[in-house]
Structure 1
Amino acid sequence: MLRRIDLNCDLGEGCGNDAAIMPLISSANIACGAHAGDDDSMRGTLRLCREFGVVAGAHPGYADREQFGRRALQLTPAEVHALVGEQLQRLAALSRAEGIRLAHVKPHGALYNQAAGDARLADSIAGCVRDFDAQLILVGLAGSELPAAGLRAGLQVAHEAFIDRRYLTNGSLAPRGTAGAVIGDIGHAIAQALSILREAAVDTLDGTRLAVNADTLCLHGDREDAVELARRLRDAFHEAGFGIGAGGRLHSSREPRPGSAG
């Protein structure tokens, strides 16, 4: 029997390829109208999730469309709690109308990366998720402050690793704009994904080996070749003895994961 790994993708961000990607993944992180998306895109993405049996989750970010939520902002914990809560409420109202249960929350962009290294910010996000719905799973960078905050808040967590991003030796993602931070070559991205699955490790930007123990792998839907990458990933995973499904390791982590990055 194939071992299973969750393959998640950030969708509803206006990239135009959601319908082609959805059959190839197991979890979708849906933009909630701040960094991208609106009611129509959220509703459409939820319906695609239902059509293809994909787990739906929220993807809240900074309200900074000009920079696609990828610019670090300095908000107070109360402001972050309110920002995330407003987005969860907006998506949840639409999901209820569509008869779809949200399963997880994965912050977007700069909010995600800042929370990975800032326990205070991570606690604010985790507290918001708990206050909104304690059954939601908090997804965060493997071994970082974000899943740790989720555990402190009593949430289930999923440790996430990235297929197409290079890591630094401290377990954080190499900042976008850094040479080599984004893995553009599909073959290299697949090799990193298989390294995470088989060895729970990746080669960092400077060539050292880093432990990365993950429950879910992220495919960025805003890549021009995202559909091709998703198709080739499925083939490569199958050959390696792994199936794709949210019923596997995603939604299973309640305790810190030994050997995780960070």
Structure 2
Amino acid sequence: MADRIDLNCDLGEEVDAWEPGVDGLDTQLLDVVTSANVACGLHAGDERIMAAVCRAASARGVAVGAHVSYLDREHFGRRFVDVPADVLQEQVTRQVETLRAIARWEGTRVAYVKPHGALYNAVVHHETHARALVAASADLPVLGLPGSAVLAAARARGLRAVTEAFADRGYRADGTLVPRSEPGALVTDDAEVAARVVRLAVDGVVRAVDGTDVRVEAESVCVHSDTPGAAALARAVRATLAEAGVTVVPFVT
């Protein structure tokens, strides 16, 4: 049984007005999660939004991560881009360094790297893009799917490889995620999601869409900000974990 787990969320994806006094969705989520995956501009967000998220995360003791993507704002980073490895490495490096500079200015730091969308899915198996992403991550831990090529590349480079599970996404029997275009891709019921996360933390398993149990050992669990009712869902997850005796803390300090 895990006695602690991290709760992360993708933020700064232009869902918030980010004006003083506005209690928007990202702000509500920052009151619950322990790690913030901050969009770095290539799929969503901009430097102003990055600064606002870093500032709000710093005030709450929430860890900041670089949520890096293919250059694909038109499709929100959810389309695979067959970019050369050197170009991808430069793009990811630029995203990480931009957020690092902003985070320092806002009194915090970038603590890890997590790929977004199509890049996240690609580096499960795409070894060339996985190595490019890891090379661009400098000395930072990399967050990814258990058994993925990107985590293997991180370990080979001497970086910390952090395994991740998803509270609100459907799983296939092989441990990969159900594509968003297919039935069962999202799980939105608060009670069901909270129970899934507790089972992930306590037993290290999740129920796949075909009804089988899949072994998923994760240091961090993601709740997506664009899942319907994301704030209430995140609160239910955190409360249920506490009831189960699992402490929610960042995986980096």
Please give the TM-score of this superposition, normalised by the length of structure 2. 0.93
Are residues 1:243 and 2:251 paired?
no
Report the CA distance between 1:223 and its aligned residue. 2.1
Q: Which residue is 1:9 aligned to?
A: 9
Q: How many corresponding residue pairs?
A: 244
Deviation of 1:176 (Å) = 0.6
**Cα distance in structure 2, aligned partners of 1:100 and 1:13:** 19
After TM superposition, where is structure 1 displaced by more than 6 Å over at least 4 residues in a row? none
| Deviation at residue 222 of structure 1 after TM alignment | 1.6
> What CA deviation, in whole Å up to 9, does each residue of 1:192-218 have, x standing for no partner?
211211110111121122110001000
Deviation at 1:35, TM superposition (A): 0.3
Matches within 5 A, 1:1-262: 3-16=3-16, 17-130=25-138, 134=139, 136-246=140-250, 250-251=251-252
Q: Secondary structure at the match of 2:221?
A: strand
Deviation at 1:77, TM superposition (A): 1.1
Contact 2:144 2:150 survives alignment (8 Å): yes
Residue 251 of structure 1 and its aligned partner are, at CA, apart by 4.1
Letter in 1 for 2:32: L
CA distance in 1, matches of 2:193, 2:94: 34
SS of residue paired to 2:137: helix
- Residue deviations 1:43-85 (CA, integer Å, cap 9, x gap): 0000011110101110011221221101111111112101101
Provide the secondary structure at the position in 2 that maps to 1:45: helix
Q: C-alpha separation between the residues in 1 aligned to 2:161 and 2:238? A: 24
- Give the conservation status (yes or no) of the 8 Å contact 1:157–1:251: no
Residue aligned with 1:59, SS:
strand
Between the aligned residues of both structures, percent identity stands at 39
Provide Cα deviations, 1:111-152, integer angstroms capped at 9, x if missing partner.
01100122221111111113xxx1x11101122212111101
179-188 vs 207-216, which deviates more?
A: 179-188
TM-score by length of 1: 0.90
The CA distance in 2 between the partners of 1:45 and 1:200, in whole Å, is: 31
CA distance in 1 between partners of 2:76 and 2:206 (Å): 27
Check conservation: 1:158, 1:251, Cα contact below 8 A.
no
